[in-house]
Amino acid sequence: MTDTKKNLPGRHAKFSEDFKTEAVRLVQTSGRTLRALADDLGVGHSTLGKWVSSHKEADLLSGPHEDTAKELARLRKENEILRQERDLLKNDHGLWSACAR
């Protein structure tokens, strides 16, 4: 009996970007449930869900969109990221100022 990656503790299967992209496309177009597709593809339900979320976010942030609702959502997401970065820099600057005293 030979061990496969799936049977070894602490090992995770590596999937190509093409495989992930095709899996996301199937979720979006097949009409089947995420759980059913994950089972058929041999990936975890949460893993497939993360791939779908990542794909949606990447698509949203990919640049200007002709669809105004999609563009508005992209700009709001970009604003949220910029605010978080600004707040992080403010906090870091405050820490450096306190250390310099």
Q: What are the tens digits of pLDDT across the range 5-21?
A: 444 455 667 889 999 99
Stretch 82-90: mean pLDDT = 89
* Residues 70 and 56 placed together within one structural domain of the fold: no
pLDDT digits (tens, 9 = 90+) for 20-49: 999 999 998 998 998 999 999 999 999 999
Q: Are residues 55 and 18 in the same domain?
A: yes
- Residue 48 belongs to domain with CATH number: 1.10.10
Question: Which residue range is the domain that position 37 belongs to?
Answer: 13-60
Query: Nearest-CA neighbor of 78 among 54, 92, 52, 60?
Result: 60
Q: Is residue 51 one of the residues assigned to a domain?
A: yes
Average pLDDT over all residues of the chain: 80
Residue spans of alpha helices (H) in the chain: 17-29, 34-41, 45-60, 68-100
